Each structure stands twice: as structure tokens, then as C-alpha cells.
Chain A
Amino acid sequence: MRIDSPAALERYCEEVKEKKAKYPYRVSVCGGTGCQAFNCLEVYEALVESIKENDLEEEVELKLTGCHGFCEMGPLMYFQPMGTFYAKVDPKDVNDIVVATILQEGEVEKYLYRDPVSGEKIHHREEIPFYKKQVRLLLGINHLIRPQVIDDYLALDGYKALAKVLFEMTPEEVIEAVERAGLRGRGGAGFPTARKWRICREAPSPDGIKYIICNADEGDPGAYMDRSLLEGNPHAVIEGMAIGAYAIGACEGYVYVRHEYPLALRNLLVALDQAREMNLLGKDIMGSGFDFDIKVAVGGGAFVCGEETALIASIEGKRGMPRPRPPYPAVKGLWGRPTNINNVETWENVPLIIRMGPEKFAEIGTENSKGTKIFSLVGKINNTGLVEVPMGITLREIIYDIGGGIPGNKAFKAVQTGGPSGGCIPAEHLDIQVDFESLQGIGSMMGSGGMIVMDENTCMVDIAKYFMKFLCEESCGKCVPCRVGTKRMLEILTKICDGEGTPEDLEALEVLAADIKAASLCALGGTAPNPVLTTLRYFRHEYEEHIYNKKCPAGVCPALITIKIDPEKCNGCGACAKVCPVNAISGEKKQPHVVDPELCIRCKVCMDRCRQEAIYAE
């Protein structure tokens, strides 16, 4: 079916909607990469089987979709219109679930989500605290969309924003709309999107050719917002890019995806074919006279290739190394032509802004940060997953209301935002609003949306070392401050963790941090010292404990801890002695055991084994 006018699109969307309306029920199973790790595909197969068996094919619309956000709980099943939500579903019970939920209009208690805080079972998805405080403008439709079925997107009025833009708006009006919406880049720096588009639109090109790029490199450890968007709703990215291309005057776009995202890549390629087939992409889109197509470039997975100039070099077939700016890509980018790069999430916001209207969009968020932001909430937190929240929400709300707080009633220590080059934020700033400026103000940044929660058992020097190691390994090696400087910082941090730190080391860290920040070529080096700087700022005493007292207060750094057994708690079961690889634990049966500090290699295996929680590190 080729769409050759907005009216044809309208008709087609209505047809699709009618077809869907005849199903009274819908069951959605998350088929995202996260849930696939929990065998969600078997759950889906069992579901198809069961629907057939119970003769429900005419009644139930089945969806194997992209990420629902609550990946930790997979495999997930979501029944509508009832709103019943099942977590950690075992394929063998799927038929029982279908029978109970649809035929008997009840539920299977066992698979209902149990709130770890209250301990209560919750029936409706919208009542689960994890979902309740989120504003899921982007992720909220994932459960309705089979990523490889364009009709699912069209049933949600997909591509109508593009039709509106192509037939009712001038390019300048589109840029103005994005400007009024206040959209800022979601890839890290929060640069105003409309401003970037305008610079690119106005930049002269030697032959009139301009490019746009979607940055789906997503290299932050633990982050998978962009993967889930691209995997779950690829058409929204395509529609956003087509709108941007029209506004900028670009004829060709690239999506740069890392090869570790095979499902996102596959779904995107299928979506591109479908869009082309329906004339929603390619020559003379919907009969508007506007030509635009998208190519896909697959990256090798280097973190630095997310940096825009390195990304461009990589598409051009060169080694992915940043180059100095100016000239900015908007003026001189891919193959020397003006090029606009935006992040996946930024592009997905574009059709949304056109559809809901820029004013409405701008009502969400704070003065200078509009709309929502997706974070991947991980670490020492009860509910991990992808959360989409309005800008301006506090860190406390994300961590305690959505995330359900810290497991095991441990104390919160810090949260790292902004990925490896962000900063560690301590408890005193938990009430800070999450927006671009506030996070920067306390030495961290929004970044692309990583959020790692740490509890009292986290050593902040060790954490700083961890991030520095990542950046040191991911440095492209082009410029001296980053190539050698991050290495030297890592060596100093390692020394401190090994109990060999000296007071001069703190000074050297500070000197290096300042000069690496000031003199590095790209933002990888420019922000690499942030974890060290913020931990030095908020947790300096931990560094000092390591250096002066040769102690790791969190009981993490092996060289600085002693493993001890609390004789009050130990019941002498002997379990620890059995697992100790070096036979460092001894004791009479039913008598408190002791650790020989000379023999102990501080592997902590015994700690995990002791049921009395009698073993501790000091």
C-alpha cells in the first residue's frame, strides 16, 4: 500500500484502527533484549499456543513488543483492558494465566507483582509504584507496538506528524515549533535542538547536500534507553528524522547503531523497508515532493564513537577519533557537508512535539528543561529498569518512590548520573531537581541517562577507580591529557585502594583532573575527571581514610580490610570454614569461629555463605 497524500494516510490509519477495535482483549509480552535473557520468547510461544487452544484468536490481540521498562521483572505479561500485570512468568503456567485472566476474569496471584517495600501484591500495572510516578510519553506506547509491524504504529496515528509537517508547515515553522517546545538534546550536553537545526539549515553546502544522523551508539555502561527506543519503536525515530530532515533541508540520514544491538538493528532495518514500501520514506514522500532516505551504519562498539566527530569519522570509514571543533558538524560534518546529529531519544521526541503541540509539551518539565527524560535506574536499588520521568522530578522521588529505595534497609550513599563521565551525588543533594543545569551545578550532568545507585557498602574511591578504568580503556589515545593523564589518574587511584597512597597523591589527582579537563580534545577526556572530582568533593574523608589510616570505611578494598566474625552472632555452623579457599577459618562445632588474618585473602566468599550475617569486613 503506497500512501500518496495525507488523506490516504488518514484513511489507512482509520482502517487499521477499526481492525484492532474488534478485539475485546489484548495481551502484550515484552520481547525486548532484557526480557529475552529471561526466555520471554518461550512465554510468547506458549501464549500463542494457549490462545489457539482456547479458541480465543478472534478475541485477543497478541503483541510481542519492545521494552516495557521493568526489565528486571521479565518475562512480563500485560493484559488489557483489565490492566493486569504479571511478572517473572514461567512459560509452563501461561495457559493457566490465560484461562484465569481472560476466561474466568480473575487472576493468577502467584505472578502478580509483589511490592518489595510494602510486601503487597498489586493487580494493576498503573498502581505499581515503579510505574505510578513515571510520565511515559515515549516508552508508554511500547507495549502497543510490534516493532516489525508498521500498522501498529499507524494505529497510533504514526506518521501523521510527518504528514502535517510536509503539507502544512514550512521548514522554519517546524524549527520554531521545536524551539517553542524547548527541546534539548538527550545525548548528553542538552544543546537546544532547534538552535542546532537552524545552524545546519543556514550553513552553506558546496553542492546543496546536507545530512542528518541519529546517534544510537549508546556506550555508557549499564545504559540501554536508546536501545529500547530503537528496538521497541523504530518508526518514531524514522518519523522524527524525516521531520528534522525537512526542517534542515537534508536529503539523507544515517542511523549509527552499535553492533551489540542486533535486535534494534533488525527492527530498524525492517521498519525502514516498510516505511519505504508505503512511501513514507524515499522519493516524493506521501506525494509532497520531499525526498529523504535513511541508511544504517553499524559501529564497532567503541565508547568514543558516540562523540559526534568520531562518529562521523567512523561512518566515513576512518578510525573513530574525534577532531577539534570548530568547525562543528552543523557547518562541516559528514563528507564535509553540513550535518545535524541528534540522539535517538531526541529524535523520538520530535513527532511527539508536533502531535501534542509544542506548548503542551513545554508544560512538562522546568523552566529550561522540557519534556521527559528516560533513565536506566540500576545499582543498589529495589526496582531496576528504564524509567521515564518529567524533567524537574527530584532524585529522591526517582530513587525512593519509583525505585523503591535501597534493598536490605541499607543506607543510601550516592547516585552516579551522567554515565562514566558524570559525577557521584551524595545524599545531601537528593532533593535536587533533575534538569540539565541543576545536575551540572553539583558537578555531575544529565548525560544520556545512566543512573547508578550506591549504598553504604560502596567504596567511593573504588567507584572512582572503576569509572576511571572504563574511560582509560575507552580513550581513543589521540590527545596527551586523556591518553596518558587518565592512565596516571587510574594508577594513583589503584595505589590508594591498595593502601599505598600518599598525601601527595591527592594533590596529583587534583592537578591532573584540572589539566585533563582544561586541555583534552573531546568531552571524553574533558569530563573523565568528574567522578574523581565529585567523590573528592563529597567523600574526601574516604580518600583520607585510605591514605592516612589505611582503612577502607566501606569494607571494599581488599588490601585495607580485615574479615572478622562476630562471636555474638556466630552459631558455629562451620559453613564458612567449608567454603574458605585458603582454610583461614577455624573453630569448634557450635562454637564461634575465627578468621586467621594472616591466611585470609579477603575474597569474601564466607560472607555470602553465613546465614547469621556474622561475618563482616572492617
Chain B
Amino acid sequence: MKSVSITIDGKAVEVPADYTILQAAREAGISIPTLCHDERLEPFGACRVCVVKVEGARALLPACATPVSEGMRIWTDLEEVRRARRTVIELLLSDHPNDCMVCERSGSCELQDLAYEYGVREPRFQGERHTYEVLDDNPLIERDYNKCIVCGRCVRICREVQGVGVYDFINRGFDAIPGTPYGRSLPETPCEFCGQCVSTCPTGALVSIPYKGKGRAWQVTKVRTTCPYCGCGCQVDLHVRDGKVVGASSPVMVGPGQGNLCVKGRYGYEFIHHPDRLTRPMVRKGGELVEVSWDEALDEVAGRLKEIMEENGPDSVAFLCSARCTNEENYLLQKLARAVVGTNNVDHCARL
């Protein structure tokens, strides 16, 4: 890629020609606020908090959606820029509940962060506010459009990343809002409950029901792990509070999933602290399952396998592995089957 020379806040930088102003600024260590931007998505240019001054342009331009061009001179911190951003934040807050106290997203809310940065307590402009019914028509995703800033990230991620297209904007002007066709509940749509929309929502408008009320950003420690459900290896941050997993998310632009997960990786963690969960090896003795040591359990399995093989030959044994295992684990299992036991009876659960 060709590169172009531009200046940002007087600082000369050289960046690839296909960069946006936002990418160039971030690379130059200059921060520009955003709300409708998500690196996983195509630029949209809707919220207008990322506006900057470009010399020669009549109006302010959105940094997230404007490509750089040779010789561009950009100013990100002029009074007129800050003033426009401030007005945008005030306009958003003039139709937003003052709900941070109990809001799930407090502490990780992009709107709250901006209000904090720009010191907006009471917006100058007051007027009609929307009141929507909170939608919890399913066990996983709650939609509270009172907190929606109509950034369209949910609409776009569902279409662009997940390829499903559950939402689009409905209504016009002040009443524009994302919604499902004919206002159907999520289970009535093709929704896969991947939670991508929740992951991109900058506010508390979309919330994961299983993790609600269990701990906000500052109360949890994030522990990075690899999703146990399949071999893809998506990165997951388990949210841990008081030694318990109370939530999960995926770091954006990291690992194979780039911040996207499937329904299991996003929500399937109830088992971790479930009382029925097996945490020790057990062996059935006299019809009863009895807790034993790993050594005893493995000896039991090896002994019984050997018995069967001696009686009926190696092909009387089959090995069934799992798509939840990594390639390496699956490799080892078939090695055990072929080299140690001597059978080609190897299969895996995804074929069942």
C-alpha cells in the first residue's frame, strides 16, 4: 500500500493511503472519541462524536469514516470541534435515562465515559424523551431501547459479521430505533443468540441476562482463556468476582474470533459452578458411583479395555473424540487408537 503524508494537530505523520483519519490518529497516539465505531465493522459515520476539522472542508468530518489523503491537515482538538462533540453528547443525554447507578454497563459504557470526559451533567437542551418497554423475550438478551443511542452497531454486526440480519432501523427521525421485523421477539427471528450485538453495543441498551447484576467492570477480574467448546480457539475473558465466574466476553480484534463468539462460548458457563458438575473421577462399584483417585480410575479403564481386546481383538474397541478438543488432542487420541490399541475405529462427535 502506498503511503501518504498528513499532519494531525500539527504533527507530521506518514500512514498507508487506505487509512481513515481515526486509524492515522490512533497510530500517532492521538485519541479521538467514538461511539458508532467498532473495528469489526465497516465505517458508518452516524454518531458524529469523532468529528474533526480538516482544512479546506466546509463542515467537520467524521474521523472514523473519512479516508486520509495526501497533504491532509487535520485538527482534532480545536474549540469548534470540542464544542460540536459536546453538543452531540448533550443531545444524546437529552433523550437518555439518568440510570448509571443501576445500569449494567456503568464503568464500561462508552457514553458514560464521554459524558465524564466532556463534563456533561445536565444537558442544555431538554425536551421529549422516549419511553420504551424493556424487552426480555428470551433467557439471554435484554433490550432496553431507552438507553439506545441508535449507533447501529447491533444492526451492522448482526448483518456484516454474523450474516444473520435480525435487526434494521425502524421509524424515522427522532423515533428511529433498531428493531426486529414486525417487532417480533428474538426467538421469533433467525437470531442465533451469539451475543455479537451485545458485545458491540456501546451502552446498556443490550445486556446479557445471565450476567446481569453479577458484577460491573470494576468489580470483576478478567481472566483470559481459550473457549473450551470447540477447536477454533476463540479467546474468552472470563469475568471473575470473588472466585466465581460471573460473565464472559471476548477481546476485540484478538484471536481467531476477533471478539466474536457463538452462543456456547458467550453464554455456556452455567456448568462451571453447577452442583451436578463432575469434578472428580468416579467408578461404579456395586451399582453405585464412588469417588476414586485418578490413578485408580485410569487403571480401571485400561484394565477393562485390555480385557475386551484380549477377548475379542482390538477392533472390538472404538475411539470417539470431540470437536471440543484441539487438533493436538485429537491427534493424540487417534495415535492411541492406532499405535497402542491397533484399531482404525476412530470417529468424533460432530458426525453423530
Query: Which residues on A are within 8 Å of B, measured CB to CB?
Result: 302, 319, 321, 323-324, 326-327, 472-481, 483-488, 491, 508, 511-512, 515, 517-521, 526
Instruction: Indicate whether B127 reaches chain A with its CB closer than 8 angstroms.
Output: yes
Q: Which residues of A contact B128 (CB under 8 A)?
A: 487, 491
B174 adjacent to A479 (CB under 8 Å)? no
Contacts A324-B43, A483-B150, A484-B92 given; does A472 touch B87 at CB 8 Å: no
B43 adjacent to A515 (CB under 8 Å)? no
B175 adjacent to A324 (CB under 8 Å)? no
Q: Which residues of A contact B45 (CB under 8 A)?
A: 323-324, 479, 521
Instruction: Indicate whether B168 reaches chain A with its CB closer than 8 angstroms.
Output: yes
Q: Which of A327, A486, A519 contacts B88 (CB 8 A)?
A: A519
Contacts A326-B67, A491-B127 given; does A483 touch B84 at CB 8 Å: no
Chain A residue nearest to B123 (CB atoms) is A488
B59 adjacent to A487 (CB under 8 Å)? no
A520 adjacent to B91 (CB under 8 Å)? no
Distance between Cα atoms of A598 and B94 in the complex (Å): 36
Query: Can you list 29 A-B contacts (CB < 8 A)?
Result: A323-B45, A324-B45, A324-B62, A326-B66, A326-B67, A472-B173, A477-B175, A478-B152, A478-B169, A479-B46, A480-B49, A480-B88, A484-B174, A485-B91, A486-B173, A488-B94, A488-B125, A508-B124, A512-B87, A512-B125, A515-B84, A515-B88, A518-B80, A518-B84, A519-B84, A519-B85, A521-B45, A521-B48, A526-B59
Q: Which residues of B contact A481 (CB under 8 A)?
A: 48, 84, 87-88, 91
Classify chain B's interface size: 35 or more
Instruction: Indicate whether B47 reaches chain A with its CB closer than 8 angstroms.
Output: yes
Q: Which residues of B contact A302 (CB under 8 A)?
A: 172
Distance between Cα atoms of A479 and B84 in the complex (Å): 13
Contacts A472-B173, A475-B173 given; does A324 touch B124 at CB 8 Å: no
B48 adjacent to A477 (CB under 8 Å)? no
- A-B interface contact total, Cβ < 8 Å: 114
Q: Which residues of A contact B44 (CB under 8 A)?
A: 323
B59 adjacent to A519 (CB under 8 Å)? yes
A389 to chain B, nearest CB (A): 28
Distance between Cα atoms of A474 and B51 in the complex (Å): 23
B179 to chain A, nearest CB (A): 12
Chain B residue nearest to A321 (CB atoms) is B169
B87 adjacent to A521 (CB under 8 Å)? no
Q: Chain B: interface secondary structure?
A: loop
Within B26-44, which residues are at the interface with A (CB < 8 Å)? 43-44
Q: Which residues of A contact B51 (CB under 8 A)?
A: 518-519
Q: Which residues of A contact B279 (CB under 8 A)?
A: none
* New contact pairs (15) apart from A326-B67, A476-B173, CB-CB < 8 Å: A324-B61, A324-B62, A326-B66, A480-B47, A480-B149, A481-B84, A483-B150, A486-B173, A518-B51, A518-B59, A518-B80, A519-B48, A519-B59, A519-B87, A526-B59
Instruction: Indicate whether B317 reaches chain A with its CB closer than 8 angstroms.
Output: no
Q: Which residues of A contact B46 (CB under 8 A)?
A: 478-480, 521
Name the residue in A324, A478, A484 with the highest tally of chain B Cβ atoms < 10 Å from its Cβ: A484
Distance between Cα atoms of A521 and B149 in the complex (Å): 16
Complex A-B, nearest 9 residue pairs according to Cβ-Cβ distance, in ascending order: A477-B176, A324-B45, A475-B173, A515-B87, A484-B91, A324-B65, A491-B127, A487-B174, A488-B125
B79 to chain A, nearest CB (A): 12
Q: Which residues of B contact A491 (CB under 8 A)?
A: 127-128
A614 to chain B, nearest CB (A): 41
B104 to chain A, nearest CB (A): 23
Distance between Cα atoms of A520 and B44 in the complex (Å): 13
Distance between Cα atoms of A484 and B150 in the complex (Å): 11
Q: Which residues of B contact A483 (CB under 8 A)?
A: 150, 173-174, 176
Chain B residue nearest to A489 (CB atoms) is B125
Distance between Cα atoms of A511 and B87 in the complex (Å): 8
Q: Which residues of A contact B83 (CB under 8 A)?
A: 515
A459 to chain B, nearest CB (A): 22
Q: Which residues of A contact B174 (CB under 8 A)?
A: 472, 475, 477, 483-484, 486-487
